[in-house]
Structure 1
C-alpha cells in the first residue's frame, strides 16, 4: 500500500511528529510512505519521507497576501499544481490530509484533484479551520457563525491573521463548496468534542471517526532528575503548566491570577514561555522557555506535584497525557476535548480559579494512573486498520 500524507510540517511539532511516527509504523509493515509538507526544516532521520510543496518564497508570498486579503489556503497555486503532478506520478492508494493551513497549499486546487482522483482520503482535523471562514478555534470569542455562514470575523487579526480585509464570508463559501463532494473521504478527529462540531458543520455528510492522539510511553514515564535542586525549589509545592506558545487562549493571564490565590508554599512553573512573557511574570512564577529535550520535559512533569491546564480552546491536548504518564495528576478547565483525558472530578469550569485552588489542595502529589490509551501506537494501529478497511 502506498500512503501519501499532507501536512504543514514534517517530523516537528505535534502534527508533524504524528505524521512521521505513523510513517515509521507503516514502513515497518512493508508499506510505502511519503509526507508532503510546506514549511520549516525536516529532521534528518525523516527526510526519507519528505516531499516539499513549494519553497520558502511561496510560503512568504502566500502568507503576505493572506495578511492583506484574508485568503489563507487559497494562494500557492503554482506550487500546488506542481505538487499535483507529483501525486499523479507517486500514485498513492491512500491520501491522508492533516493541517492544510499554514500558507503552503491551495485547497481549492487540491480538492478539485481529490474529487477526480477518486481514491480513499482520510482527513485528520487537528482544529476547526476546515469548517470556519477564518479561525482555528472560536470558543474564546463564543462565535458560532460557522454554523450558518461566517462574516465580520471577531478574530480577523488572529491566526491566520489579516491586517486589512475581512474575507471570512467568501472563505466560508469557498470551503463549503470545495471540501464537499469527495466520494471516499473519512474525517478523523482526536476528540469527541471536535467530532461533535464536525457533525454540526458543512462536513457533516462525511463519516466521522474519533482516534485519540497518543504519546510515546517509553519517553513519557516517571523520570528522575535534579530540576528542584537546579531551580532551588526543594521546599516548594510545584504547580506546572506547559504549552508550546502561551497567551490568552492557553490561560497565561489566569496563571498570573492563580499566583495571587496561592500561598508562599507554592511555586508555579510555566514551560514554553517566550522571553517577552518572562517580563510580565510575577514573583512566584518561574518561566522556562521551550525545551526540545523530551527527557528534560519528562523530568519536569515527574517533579511537579500537580499539572494544571487552564486552556480556553483546545482539541485533545497531549500535555494532559504526558503529565499523567509521568505520574502527575492533571486539573483542567472544562474546555473542548481537554476533559476527555482527565477524570471528571478534576475538571473546573472556565475561569473558576477558586475551584482550581481547591482542586490543587486536594490532588497535589497524589499521583496519576498511567492508562494504556495514552500509547501512541494504539492510535497508529487504528489508523492502519482504517487504511486497510477503505483501501
Structure 2
C-alpha cells in the first residue's frame, strides 16, 4: 500500500512530529509511506520537500488578509487562500491513500483538496479543519452553524474573513471522499457538532510515539545531564512558547505553584521549564526555577521527563497533548485539567491527576497528591508506562491506520 502524508513540515512542531511519527510507524509495518512537506528539517529521504516559488511565497502571502483586522487577538488564524503547487506533485505520486495532517501556514489552499482523486484521511491536530480560520475556538461556537463576527478577529461583522473562509470550505469540501481521524474523543465530538463535518465519518485514534525512545531513564543520570538537583522533587512544565501562549495555561500554573509553595512544599520542590528560555524579568513561580531551553531531539526530551517527578500540562484547550503522552511513556505521572483532549491521555488517579477545570487550587492539590505518598507514586509510574505501551505505541497506532486505509480502499 502506498500512503502519502501531506503536512506543512516534518519535525519542527507538535503536529509535524505527530505526522512524522505515524509515517515512521507505517514504514516499520512495511507500508510504503512518504511525506510531502513545505519545510523539511529531518534527514529522512522519505520526506520530500516542495521548493517551488508558490510554496515559498505561501506563508507570507497567507496572512495578508489578517492585516485588515487591527483588533484581532494573537491567536493563530489561517485563511489558506494562496494557490499552491501540490496537486501536480501528488499526481506524480503512486499514492493509494492521501493522509492530510497540519496543512496551514500557507501550505495547502482550501480548494486544492478537490483536485485529489485518492481517498482522503484527515488526521485532526486542532480545530482548524472545521472552523472559519481559527485553530482553537476558545469560547466561540460559531463553527457549529457558520462562522462570522469572529471574536478572534475582533470583528462584529457577520460577513467577515472567517465567514469567507468557512464558505470556501463548505463549497470545496462538499462531497469529498473524506474520512476524519480525531486524536481524542473531545476533538471527535467537536468535529461531529460542526456544520462542516456533522455528516462525515469520524474515527478516534490516539497519537503514537516510539516507546523505546520515550522510556524511563535512570533519574540520577537524567538530572546530571541537565545539571538539576538530586535532593529535590522536580515539577516539569514545557510547551512550544509555553510561557507566552495563553492556551497552554501558564497563567493558571503560576498561581497553583504559588499556592503550593505556601502549603509546606517550599523546601522540597523545584521547577523545571523546557521550551522557553529564562526571561530577562524574573517570574515569581513560588519555587526555584530551572530553564533548560528548547529541546529538539527525542533523547533530550525523554531525559527531561525522566528527571522529573511530575509533569504539569495545565492547557485550557488541547487537541491531544503530546507532552502528556511523552511523559507518561517515560513513567512520569501527569497533572492536568479534566478538560478537552487531555481527558483521554491522563487517567485520573491512575496515571496522574485530573483537576477541576480551571481551578488552580485543585491543580495544586493534584501535584501534592501525586507526590505525597511514595507507594502510590510508584503505582502511578507503573500504570503510566503500561498505558503508553498499550495505547500510544507506534505499532498500535500504525496498525489502526492501516486497517482504516484498507477499509477505504476495499
| TM-score of the alignment, normalized to the shorter chain, above 0.5 | yes
Find the partner of 2:182 among 189, 197, 201. 189
Q: Which residue of 2 aligns with 1:148?
A: 145
Q: Which residue of 2 aligns with 1:68?
A: 67
Deviations 1:304-354 (A, max 9, x none): 222211110101112112212222211111221101121234211223121
2:286 paired with 1:287:
no
Q: Which residue of 1 aligns with 2:72?
A: none
Q: Which residue of 1 aligns with 2:73?
A: none
Q: Which residue of 2 aligns with 1:162?
A: none
What secondary structure does 1:302 align onto?
helix
What secondary structure does 1:199 align onto?
helix
1:105-184 correspondence to structure 2 within 5 Å: 105-108=108-111, 110-114=112-116, 117=117, 119-139=118-138, 142-156=139-153, 166-182=160-176, 184=177
Query: CA–CA distance in 2 between the matches of 1:251 and 1:347?
Result: 14
Query: CA–CA distance in 2 between the matches of 1:236 and 1:217?
Result: 27
Q: Which residue of 2 aligns with 1:336?
A: 340
Find the partner of 2:50 among 49, 52, 63. 52
Report the Cα offset of residue 29 of structure 1: 4.8
Q: Which residue of 2 aligns with 1:93?
A: 96
Query: CA–CA distance in 2 between the matches of 1:96 and 1:278?
Result: 44
Q: Which residue of 1 aligns with 2:356?
A: 349
Q: Which residue of 1 aligns with 2:240?
A: 244
Query: CA–CA distance in 2 between the matches of 1:353 and 1:74?
Result: 37
What secondary structure does 1:90 align onto?
coil
- The runs of 5 or more residues in structure 1 that have no matched partner are 158-164
Counterparts in 2 of 1:32 and 1:73: CA distance versus 1, 3 Å: farther
Counterparts in 2 of 1:356 and 1:72: CA distance versus 1, 3 Å: closer
Deviations 1:358-379 (A, max 9, x none): 2222211613211221212211
Number of equivalenced pairs: 372
2:388 paired with 1:386:
no
**TM-score, length-normalised on structure 2?**
0.83
Find the partner of 1:376 among 394, 398, 401. 394
What secondary structure does 1:155 align onto?
helix
**TM-score, length-normalised on structure 1?**
0.87
Query: CA–CA distance in 2 between the matches of 1:303 and 1:88?
Result: 47
Report the Cα offset of residue 249 of structure 1: 0.9
1:239-278 correspondence to structure 2 within 5 Å: 239-246=235-242, 247-263=245-261, 264=266, 265-276=268-279
Query: CA–CA distance in 2 between the matches of 1:301 and 1:24?
Result: 22
Counterparts in 2 of 1:379 and 1:279: CA distance versus 1, 3 Å: same
Query: CA–CA distance in 2 between the matches of 1:360 and 1:133?
Result: 37
Deviations 1:46-90 (A, max 9, x none): 23331416446313432342432588343331xx2x321222232
